[in-house]
């Protein structure tokens, strides 16, 4: 039998007999690589080390140095070890699925009959059982099974979920299982899985994982199906990585916008309006500062602000394509007066449908279409603080980060073909200024055409090329700016650039975007009259920087841990009295601060000053101005900064000038 040729990462070629494994190759190269090997990449596909090779291929041995692949492997293995541990501790438990996640793993299990759901009290015992399985260094072996035989085995063992899943897999897909321990031996454990896996459980670090929580989950995500227990864990390559992750989680918990929003009195949420924010005065003060900031930015960049309707006829959404692609996430309303009689249905079911807008773009096209546009009118930049509604599932909602009602800093640029690159480049510069004003680092990604999409390949080629050219021209297509292209991640109508912000504890948030769209102008018949006197389609650039005000404020709360920079703080200064004799001076100080443009409050309560300091520190007020009888007589204030023990007594005029300067938004500091 002819040998097969293996091309290694250094370009060298090895000839080996068919049936040779990647593990054999690693051992032939050297004992160090053999010890370090975790799995192999064959022509781009990750496989087990001991899976036989049968054809010429490119081969790479995966080790811990290949961190992304290694993490995916160990997290998948931790999930399987979790399932094995649960079944050993709680006989009669049924297993279902156990994937790796972004920072760990989970496994969905059905508790034994009569036991009730698993709880977090069960986690320590499960962790110990997992460590015992890891310490046993059990080999993990892949095995292909006949479909009917595997289904029969699952049914005989009472694994009804696995039997159902095996029966639904494609007929042409081989069914594979992995054994933990020698196959078919007493005490070995088996699960159905595509793989790949590590060579043995002992390759996992027993101190590099932690089970974190338990929640409910429906079988195959359907509420009509039985409810399971989903056990979550976090898994890493070593204990140091785990500790760093747990530290990030602890820091994130301190910064949780829901907790800080409640403590600082910024907003609240309640069941009477699922997914909609009740802004309190202090929270809305931040909202208004952001609105004012963004209005200045877009006005300076040549945008015209508009306002469009919340409720639009379903026919408009059908024409735009959103009705077919997005209807499940829209709030729809019958276009009729509801029945007010006691008997009979509230609605007739005969009326046409309207929908609350989930996005602003079709309405902006309708504004563009009012009146005939000339090529000289372009680019036309239309901006809206547009309130939108999306019918998110209750379980998907998360504080103010993911809501049903939100307002976007949304704009659409209608331009000629020859203007696209310059407009995108200008937007890149605008987004850069905005994110830097808030102290964010960011990465730019180009999301390319998805499999299901509108428009021709030629239009997609052109749109992707324009976005790429603009980023290159702006000098941002670099490793420093995290430049990356993401195949298949574009919208159904357009490719897009995405801005991914990195916050103070290393998390990333996808916020800003600009999309180059030739589909919607065609579908909604937008046109302008060109220099040749003929009708032409404009290119429509969809763009946002904050994304949604609600989510951006949530990100800011967590970025700053509630300690907003002076210009953003909902209350920038509090004037607090030591004695009631200073009440008049405190009121005068507050009046002058407000006249200088600061958001200021007074605290004239008959309480000790240490209590006032503590309370306003908890509310993250940047500056506390303490006044007593002496300060009133001398026209001074004692300035105490958030987080500092010392205070400085200064003339009021000096303090007014300093605080007014600190409270100036960063865009107003730049030379005009």
Dihedral sign (CA 561, 565, 566, 570) = negative
Helix 281-300 with 420-437: angle, nearest 10 deg: 140
**Residue in this structure with the two tokens 């990604």, named with its chain if needed:** 445
Determine the Cα–Cα distance for residues 205 and 188; give it in Å rounded to an integer: 21
Give phi and psi for 247, each to the nearest 5: -65, -40
Kindly name the residue from 60, 408, 515, 572 that is annotated as catalytic: 408
Q: CA-to-CA distance for 361 and 652, rounded, in angstroms?
A: 50
Residue 559, beta-bridge partner list: none
Which is it for strands 484-486 and 441-447: parallel, antiparallel or unpaired?
parallel
Q: Which of 193, 361, 415, 428 is catalytic?
A: 361
Strands 539-548 and 405-415: antiparallel
Residue 304 bridge partners (DSSP): 382
- Candidates 604, 606, 641; CA nearest to 624 is 641
14 is catalytic: no
Measured distance CA(318)–CA(312) in Å, rounded: 11
Q: DSSP labels for 358-415?
A: S-SHHHHHHHHTSSPPBGGG-SEEEEEEEEEE----GGG-BTTTB-SEEEEEEEEEEE
162 is catalytic: no
Q: Which of 542, 543, 551, 620 is catalytic?
A: 542
Q: Is 280 a catalytic residue?
A: no
Which uninterrupted H or E stretch holds 441?
strand 441-447
The beta strands (E) that lie in 181-284 are given as 189-192, 209-218, 227-235, 267-268, 278-279
C-alpha distances (whole Å) from 560 to each of 254, 256, 281, 417, 669 are: 11, 11, 19, 41, 21
Distances (CA, A) of 420 to 302, 424, 463: 15, 6, 9
| Dihedral, 475, 481, 486, 491 alpha carbons, nearest 10 | -80
Pair of tokens at residue 132: 């015992």
Q: DSSP states of 403-429 as a string?
A: -SEEEEEEEEEEE-GGGHHHHHHHHHH
CA 595 vs. chain centroid, Å, equals 40
Q: Of 230, 412, 612, 640, which is the active-site residue?
A: 412
- Is 608 one of the annotated active-site residues of the chain? no
Task: Provide the 3-class DSSP secondary structure of residue 570.
Answer: coil
Which residue out of 390, 425, 523, 640 is catalytically annotated? 390
388 is catalytic: no
Catalytic residue among 496, 518, 551, 612, which? 496
Which residue out of 48, 77, 205, 410 is catalytically annotated?
Answer: 410
Cα torsion angle, 581, 587, 592, 596, sign: positive
Q: What is the CA radius of gyration of the chain?
A: 31
412 given a catalytic annotation: yes
Structure tokens at 382: 């239309």
Largest CA distance in the chain: 103
Nearest CA to 230 out of 242, 221, 241 is that of 221
Our answer to whether residue 364 is catalytic in this structure is no
Q: What share of the chain is helix, strand, coil (3-state, %, to 5)?
A: 40, 25, 35
Q: Which residues are catalytic?
A: 361, 390, 408, 410, 412, 496, 542
């Amino acid at each position: 039998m002819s040998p097969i040729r293996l091309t290694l990462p250094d370009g060298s070629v090895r000839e080996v007999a068919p049936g040779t494994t990647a593990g054999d190759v690693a051992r032939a190269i050297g004992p160090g690589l053999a010890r370090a090997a975790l799995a192999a990449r064959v022509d781009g596909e990750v496989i087990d080390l001991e899976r036989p090779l049968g054809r010429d291929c490119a081969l790479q041995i995966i080790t811990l140095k290949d961190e992304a692949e290694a993490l995916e492997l160990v997290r998948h293995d931790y999930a399987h070890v979790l399932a094995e541990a649960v079944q050993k501790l709680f006989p009669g438990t049924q297993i279902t699925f156990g994937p790796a996640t972004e920072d760990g793993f989970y496994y969905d299990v059905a508790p034994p009959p009569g036991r009730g759901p698993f709880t977090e009290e069960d986690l320590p015992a499960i962790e110990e059982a997992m460590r015992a399985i890891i310490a046993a260094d059990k080999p993990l072996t892949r095995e292909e099974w006949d479909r009917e035989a595997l289904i029969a085995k699952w049914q005989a063992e009472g694994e009804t979920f696995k039997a159902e899943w095996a029966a639904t897999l494609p007929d042409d897909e081989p069914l594979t299982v992995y054994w933990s321990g020698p196959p078919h031996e007493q005490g070995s454990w088996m699960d159905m899985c595509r793989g790949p896996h590590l060579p043995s459980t002992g390759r996992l670090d027993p101190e590099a994982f932690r089970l974190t929580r338990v929640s409910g989950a429906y079988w195959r995500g359907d509420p009509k199906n039985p409810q399971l227990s989903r056990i979550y864990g976090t898994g890493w390559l070593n204990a140091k990585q785990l500790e760093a992750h747990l530290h990030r989680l602890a820091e994130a918990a301190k910064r949780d916008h829901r907790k800080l929003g409640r403590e600082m009195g910024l907003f609240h949420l309640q069941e009477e309006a699922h997914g909609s924010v009740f802004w309190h005065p202090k929270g809305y003060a931040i909202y208004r500062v952001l609105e004012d900031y963004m209005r200045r930015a877009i006005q300076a960049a040549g945008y015209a602000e508009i306002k469009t309707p919340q409720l639009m006829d379903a026919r408009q959404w059908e024409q735009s394509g959103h009705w077919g692609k997005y209807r499940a996430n829209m709030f729809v309303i019958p276009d009729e007066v509801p029945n007010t009689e006691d008997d009979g249905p509230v609605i007739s079911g005969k009326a046409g449908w309207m929908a609350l807008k989930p996005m602003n773009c079709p309405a902006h096209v309708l504004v563009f279409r009012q009146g005939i546009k000339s090529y000289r009118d372009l680019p036309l930049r239309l901006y809206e603080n547009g309130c939108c509604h999306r019918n998110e599932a209750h379980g998907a909602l998360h504080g103010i980060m993911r809501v049903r009602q939100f307002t976007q800093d949304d704009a659409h640029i209608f331009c000629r073909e020859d203007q696209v690159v310059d407009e995108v480049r200008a937007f890149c510069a605008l987004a850069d200024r905005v994110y830097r004003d808030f102290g964010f680092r960011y990465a730019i990604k180009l999301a390319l055409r998805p499999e299901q999409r509108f428009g021709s390949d030629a239009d997609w080629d052109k749109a992707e090329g324009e976005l790429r050219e603009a980023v290159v021209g702006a000098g941002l297509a670099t490793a420093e700016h995290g430049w990356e292209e993401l195949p298949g991640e574009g919208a159904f109508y357009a490719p897009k650039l995405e801005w991914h912000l990195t916050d103070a504890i290393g998390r990333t948030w996808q916020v800003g975007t600009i999309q180059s769209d030739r589909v919607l102008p065609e579908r909604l018949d937008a046109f302008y009259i060109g220099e040749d006197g003929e009708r032409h389609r404009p290119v429509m650039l969809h763009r946002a920087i904050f994304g949604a005000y609600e989510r951006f404020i949530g990100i800011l709360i967590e970025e700053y841990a509630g300690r907003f920079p002076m210009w953003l703080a909902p209350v920038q200064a509090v004037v607090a009295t030591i004695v009631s004799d200073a009440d008049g001076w405190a009121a005068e100080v507050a009046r002058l601060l407000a006249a200088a443009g600061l958001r200021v409050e007074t605290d004239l309560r008959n309480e000790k000053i240490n209590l006032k300091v503590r309370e306003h520190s908890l509310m993250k007020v940047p500056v506390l101005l303490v006044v007593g009888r002496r300060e009133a007589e001398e026209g001074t204030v004692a300035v105490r900064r958030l987080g500092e023990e010392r205070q400085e007594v200064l003339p009021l005029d000096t303090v007014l000038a300093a605080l007014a300067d600190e409270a100036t938004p960063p865009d107003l500091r730049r030379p005009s």
